[in-house]
Amino acid sequence: MTWNEVLMYIINTVFKIIITVAIPYAFNLVTTKIKGDMQKKYLQMFEDLVRNAVQNVQQTYVAHMKAENLFDEEAQNTAFKMVKDSVLTMMNDETKKIVMEAVGDFETFVNSKIESEVYVNKVLATGVSGYLAEAKK
């Protein structure tokens, strides 16, 4: 073997190693980036669905029940169920699947996001001091 052949053999071997490691790594990196971007997009869509559903139920049900002084624990549970049903109805299977992959426990995540959005709406509507005063009752 000449030095030229040895050098070509070494270069060829190193090149094969780089290719076998770099291509799967690059593919994984691109796939992860795409999956991460897709999850962010769907999570944002999910948050928008929850926000809209909470505001809708607030306008169509909660405000009416409060005006009639009928907003008790049963009405609160009904409002929560209305929001949750609305969110789940508006989500397609692909969105549910991607959100589940991103968060794990889908049911807990949905409930938590609804409660969080309700809290934000209460604070925005009454201000922090108004919300804290109402919470003490």
Question: Is the residue at 22 inside a domain?
Answer: no
Q: How far apart are CA 71 and CA 41, in angstroms?
A: 35
Question: Is the residue at 60 inside a domain?
Answer: yes
pLDDT of residue 10: 83
Write down the residue that tokens 């996001």 correspond to: 113
Containing structural domain, residue 42: 38-136
pLDDT digits (tens, 9 = 90+) for 108-119: 888 888 888 888
pLDDT of residue 32: 61
Residues 93, 67 contacting (CB under 8 angstroms): no
Question: Is the residue at 16 inside a domain?
Answer: no
What's the pTM?
Answer: 0.69
Question: Is the residue at 73 inside a domain?
Answer: yes
Question: Is the residue at 23 inside a domain?
Answer: no
Q: What number of other Cβ atoms are within 10 A of residue 39's Cβ?
A: 15
User: What's the token pair of residue 78?
Assistant: 């009904």
Question: Is the residue at 49 inside a domain?
Answer: yes
Provide the domain count of the chain.
Answer: 1
Angle (deg, nearest 10), helices 3-57 and 106-136: 40
Question: Is the residue at 98 inside a domain?
Answer: yes
Question: Is the residue at 70 inside a domain?
Answer: yes
